[in-house]
Amino acid sequence: MNQEVKVVEELQKMMTTNEVPVSVQEDINELCQKFSQGTASLNELQHGDPFIEEVVQKAIKRIEP
């Protein structure tokens, strides 16, 4: 399982438990779809929206051992 898939799963858990700010939920949903379809990668987030990056970084930290 690649890192994008793990991040998508964690982001979905975070959405379910209301840990994602409402202001970025739609963007996170779109990002999850792109990750799942393989049309986006974590590297593309480096110069993106800082609020989205923050949520994704939280998810990454939660999946790291």
Interval 6-63: pLDDT, tens: 999 999 999 999 999 999 999 999 999 998 898 988 888 767 889 999 999 999 999 9
Q: How far apart are CA 61 and CA 65, in angstroms?
A: 8
Whole-model pTM: value is 0.86
Per-residue model confidence (pLDDT) at position 3: 87
Per-residue model confidence (pLDDT) at position 40: 87
Joined together, the tokens standing for residue 47 give 């110069």
Joined together, the tokens standing for residue 56 give 């994704």
